[in-house]
Amino acid sequence: MKAVFFDLDGTLCNTVGDIRYHVNKMLSSRGYAELSEAQTKAYVGDGAEKLIERALPAGAEDPEGCFAQFLESFSNSDGALLSLYEGEREALARLKERGYKLAVITNKPQEATRRTLAKFFPEGYFDFVGGDSGMFPVKPDPSLTRYAALALRVAPKDCAFVGDGEQDVRTAKNAGMRGISALWGYRTRSELSAAGATEFAESFSELVKIL
């Protein structure tokens, strides 16, 4: 392995509280029922548009306006509800010390991705950061992931893709990378196994041992 690719929400950062706050802010302003934490975890992973589509009740008026309202609120988040996972900083530092290139591939909007990472990591900490900018299809399409490998000058077979969701399992397979499912995130082992996952890490420290 020469590079490690990470999903963001539920893998590098616990963002469910932040996402839920801004989704519910939009829903409540329009008189719709708010999401629980469990619902929010279940709805994330396929990009912001799909998140809002799932959050809105059937027949909701002006879904495009709802999405735009969410994005405007979300883009001004102060990040107060974001947090890292136990042992994460130490694990990433060990990987960097051992010469691994580190990349982030997420379905989160590009600007929100940049802002989230900036709260916890200095600029340039990751060798490649790719969010949903509209230039590539979202995961599990492998196009952005393969482009990142090309940009880092590493073969996909020499990369590990670490993520907590079903789409990450499929992205790793589609991109020809080794998939490792993070069990500290938003999905259970059984859910990930059903998506085809065969290798799991219970924590960041275990991830380092696996790699």
Active site amino acids: 7
Cα 36-41-44 angle, rounded to 5 deg: 120
Over its C-alpha atoms, the chain yields an Rg (Å, rounded) of 17
CA separation for the pair 189, 182 (Å, rounded):
9
Q: Which H, E and C letters describe 90-154, residue by residue?
A: HHHHHHHHCCCEEEEEEEEEHHHHHHHHHHHCCCCCCCEEEEECCCCCCCCCCHHHHHHHHHHCC
Q: Using an 8 Å Cβ cutoff, are 126 and 102 in contact?
A: yes
